[in-house]
Amino acid sequence: MRIVVLDGYCLNPGDLSWEKLKLLGEFTVFDRTPANLTIERAKNADALLTNKTILNAENMAQMPNLKYIGILATGYNVVDLNYTNNHEIVVTNIPAYSTSSVAQMVFAHILNITNSVDFHSQIVHNGEWTRSIDFCFWRKPQIELAGKTIGLVGLGNTGMATARIALAFGMKVIAVTSKKNLSNDIKHVSYNELWQQSDIISLHCPLCADTKQIINADSLSQMKPTAILINTGRGPLIDEQALANALNTGKIAAAAVDVLSTEPPKADNPLLTARNCFITPHIAWATAEARQRLMDIAAGNLQSFINGNAVNVVKN
Query: Could you give the CA distance from residue 70 to residue 91 in angstroms, rounded to a whole number?
Result: 6
Cβ atoms 197, 174 nearer than 8 A: yes
244 three-class SS: helix
Q: Which residue among 109, 204, 234, 291 is the active-site one?
A: 234
From 2, 41, 120, 282, active-site residue: 282
Distances in whole angstroms, Cα of residue 288 to Cα of each of 17, 72, 181: 12, 15, 35
CA pair distance 248, 278, nearest whole angstrom? 13
**What is the chain's Cα-based Rg?**
22
Question: What's the rounded Cα separation, in Å, for the pair 197 and 224?
Answer: 8
Instruction: Give the C-alpha separation, 187 to 191, whole Å.
Output: 12
C-alpha span between 195 and 208 (Å, rounded) = 20
Catalytic site includes residue 139 = no
| CB-based contacts of 143, cutoff 8 Å, min separation 6 | 114, 115
DSSP secondary structure, 271-308, as one string = GGG-TTEEE--S-TT--HHHHHHHHHHHHHHHHHHHTT
Tally Cβ neighbours within 10 Å of residue 60.
21
Q: Is 282 a catalytic residue?
A: yes
Pick the catalytic residue from 164, 263, 275, 289. Answer: 263
Please state the length of the chain.
316
Indicate the angle between helix axes 117-125 and 99-115, nearest 10 degrees. Answer: 60
Q: Which residues are catalytic?
A: 234, 263, 282
